[in-house]
Amino acid sequence: MNKHYFKYIAVLLLVTNFSACKKNDKTISDKKAPISVNVVAVQQNDIKEFLTFNGVTQYQKKENIRSNVTGYISWMKYKIGDNIHNGQTFASVRTKEQDALKEAVKIDSSLGKFISPITIRSNATGIINTLNITTNDYVAEGDILATVVQPKSLTVQVNVPYEYEDFVDIGTNCEILLQNEETITAKITGKLPTIDPLAQSQIFLIALPDIDLPENLNVQVKTIYREDTTAITIPKTALQTNELLTDYWVMKIFNDSLAIKQKVVPQLKNDSLVQIQSNTLKIGDLVITKGAYQMQDSTIVSFKKQ
């Protein structure tokens, strides 16, 4: 009987040890590894929110050189881009009457003074940016032969929707963004007293007398819309929202290992930062910037501080 009793005890101990091992294995397997994330500290920054408008470069001072007689261009040496001065000879024109007098001159030499080509002079100083004629072309009296622009009159014309009229005025600081990513700092220098009837926008002018840019260049103009010099900010990558954009939150780090969902209210934004309003976040708190997408509340994490 003792022999059977000891055998029973041995089997019972074996089963108990086996069950304990399985339980320990299950406990170890159920323990999840922490999720690796990137974090950054909440900071205080001067944040600006900008309005961006479309603009185009235009010369404000243009003069047309016109023909003062009907005839054929007998001489013209200029090309687009050449400089010309007020009073300088631009072209010469011969008329049909002058051609007819060539035979008469052979009979009466006194008529020779009437066959010289008629001189057309420039009425402006600047650069020729439009040229409509070449030698031997026929022109009528009053035709526009060329257009002369004054480089110092270069401006950017900015179309500002009237709803933003209170935020843009003469003297407003702005940045002009060129297509080659160059930025020019300038000020609004004037505005036209009319509104586009279709777009309901007003044209403001930015004078650029010392900058060499081509005409009809499309640019973007940025002006400050709102600013807060003591804003509590986080990177845009830390801010999360629902599909309807009605709720916003961040994942805040507690005890260096636990990610807790914290609701926030976004305010001003720029290219990289967003100002937040929160009753639970303060300067220096760590929030997740990478790895928190669809993360559940109270998730175990590990991180490297940026």
pLDDT over 90 percentage in the chain = 70
Mean pLDDT of 116-138: 92
What residue spans of the chain are helical by DSSP H? 2-30, 96-107
CA distances, 262 to each of 80, 269, 276 (Å)? 64, 19, 11
Looking at 227, 242, 264, the residue that finishes a domain is 227
For residue 301, list its beta bridge partners. Answer: 35
Q: Are residues 55 and 183 in the same domain?
A: yes
Q: Are residues 223 and 233 in the same domain?
A: no
Q: Are residues 157 and 169 in the same domain?
A: yes
Q: Are residues 233 and 284 in the same domain?
A: yes
Which pLDDT tens digit goes with each residue over 45-85?
999 999 999 999 999 999 999 999 999 999 999 999 999 99
Closest CA to 88 of 133, 65, 122: 122
Mean pLDDT of 120-142: 93
Of 12-26, 106-120, 146-160, 266-280, the range with the lowest mean pLDDT is 12-26
Q: How many domains does the chain have?
A: 3
pLDDT at 29 over 90: no
Looking at 131, 149, 167, the residue that finishes a domain is 149
Q: Are residues 125 and 75 in the same domain?
A: yes
Q: Are residues 197 and 55 in the same domain?
A: yes
Q: Are residues 221 and 209 in the same domain?
A: yes
The residues near 32 (Cβ < 8 Å, ≥ 6 apart) are 300
Task: Evaluate whether residue 17 is within a structural domain.
Answer: no
Q: Are residues 216 and 169 in the same domain?
A: yes
Looking at 149, 179, 213, the residue that finishes a domain is 149
Task: Evaluate whether residue 11 is within a structural domain.
Answer: no
More confident residue, 240 or 303: 240
Mean pLDDT of 168-176: 93
Domain containing residue 40: CATH number: 2.40.420.20
* Domain that includes residue 199, residue range: 51-59+152-227
17 alpha carbon, distance to own chain's centre:
71
Q: Are residues 256 and 276 in the same domain?
A: yes
Q: Are residues 241 and 113 in the same domain?
A: no
Mean pLDDT of 182-192: 94
Task: Evaluate whether residue 44 is within a structural domain.
Answer: yes
CA distances, 133 to each of 61, 75, 85, 225, 276 (Å)? 22, 11, 19, 48, 63
Extract long-range pairs of 189-196: CB within 8 Å, 24+ residues apart. Answer: 189/155, 190/155, 195/162, 196/159
